[in-house]
Amino acid sequence: MMPFFKSIKKNKQDQAIAAADRITRLQASNLPKHIAIITDGNGRWAKKRGLPRTAGHAAGMKKVREIIRAADELGIQVLTYYSFSTENWKRPQDEVDYLMKLPIEFLKTDLNELIKRNVKVQMLGEKSKTPSETQKALEEFEEKTKHNSGLILNFAINYGSRSEMISAMKQMINDVQQGHIKPDDVTEDLMDSYLFTKDIPDPDLVIRTSGEIRISNFLLWQIAYSELCFTDTLWPDFDAEAFFQAIEDFQHRTRRYGAVK
């Protein structure tokens, strides 16, 4: 028993040293301002263990907390999680119910820590179409952290990029009809101002876990020039070390925005 236990401890120590080493290797001047994460693979993580899919979501929630802490300690300005898409309503009802209860649970366990960390929590997506208890929890997060000036933490819940753009277009057309704007006023900046992400810089880095190489209707307008990082790791197996690794990869990219470097 003992040598095995010792080796685990040593392994953990090594991991901590490796993580600290990686943080010091990250260039403080070239950190992504905004990191957006498609937290995928909870269901497969659970299936591999013979557990119900909901157990994967519970394990994923712990990683959401771990990466918030890592991002905050690193001084990242904006962290966005894709937590529930407009297409995820197609899942079995018990799974949807479980996912809709998670924010209520997270409010109980994590609101105080987020307040202490000066984190400002915001929601992207149509909150009003979530169950009323969920909506109440989401609003309480926003209300109780709205004056905080630290990390901006966005949760995309009942979020779909196409529906966000359609709603922006409808509002714009309405504003033209009301005479508030003219068609010539429509610019990229104006479009930004009609999106859930208004006032937030576009993601510099998008991470998707679980080996799927697709965007799944996430921030289509906003990621025009984001760096994309795909990893095979399932979300419940992702950790701070993997997060720092993704940032290190980002720091080796050359961003050209169509120009010549």
Binding site members for substrate: 41-45, 53, 57, 85-87, 89, 91, 208, 214-216
Q: Is 40 a catalytic residue?
A: yes
Check binding of 164 to Mg ion (CB under 5 A). Answer: no
185 binds, among Mg ion, ligand IPE, none (CB under 5 to 8 A by kind): none
Backbone dihedral region for residue 217 (phi beyond 0: left; psi -120 to 50: alpha; all else: beta): left
* Shortest-Cβ-distance residue relative to ligand IPE: 43
Residue 83 touches which of ligand IPE, Mg ion, none (Cβ within 5-8 Å per kind): ligand IPE
Closest distance of CB 39 from ligand IPE, Å? 5
Q: How far is the CB of 51 from ligand IPE (least distance, A)?
A: 12
Looking at beta carbons only, is 45 or 250 nearer to Mg ion?
45
Binding site for ligand IPE (CB under 6 A): 38-44, 82-85, 88, 99, 210, 212, 214, 216
- Runs of H (alpha helix) within 80-218: 93-116, 132-145, 161-177, 188-193
**Continuous segment of H or E residues that includes residue 25:** helix 2-25
The tokens for 150 are 């630290």
Is 14 designated active site?
A: no
Residue in 31, 32, 40, 207 binding Mg ion, rule: CB under 5 A: 40
CA–chain centroid gap for 109, Å, is 19
Name the strand (E) or helix (H) holding 196: none
Q: Which is nearer to Mg ion, 38 or 71 (CB)?
A: 38
- Taking Cα atoms as reference points, which of 26, 53, 21 lies closest to residue 40? 53
Sheet-wide strand order for 205-208: 120-124, 152-159, 78-85, 34-38, 205-208, 227-230
Quick one: what does residue 214 bind among Mg ion, ligand IPE, none, with the CB cut-off 5 to 8 Å set by partner type?
ligand IPE
Among 32, 81, 90, 86, smallest CA distance to 61 is for: 81
85: partner contacted, choices Mg ion, ligand IPE, none (Cβ within 5-8 A by kind): ligand IPE
Q: Minimal distance in Å, beta carbon 236 to Mg ion?
A: 12
The partner residues of 207 in beta bridges, in order of sequence, read 37, 229
Nearest residue (beta carbon) to Mg ion: 40
Task: Find residue 84's DSSP bridge partners.
Answer: 157
| Catalytic residue list | 40, 88
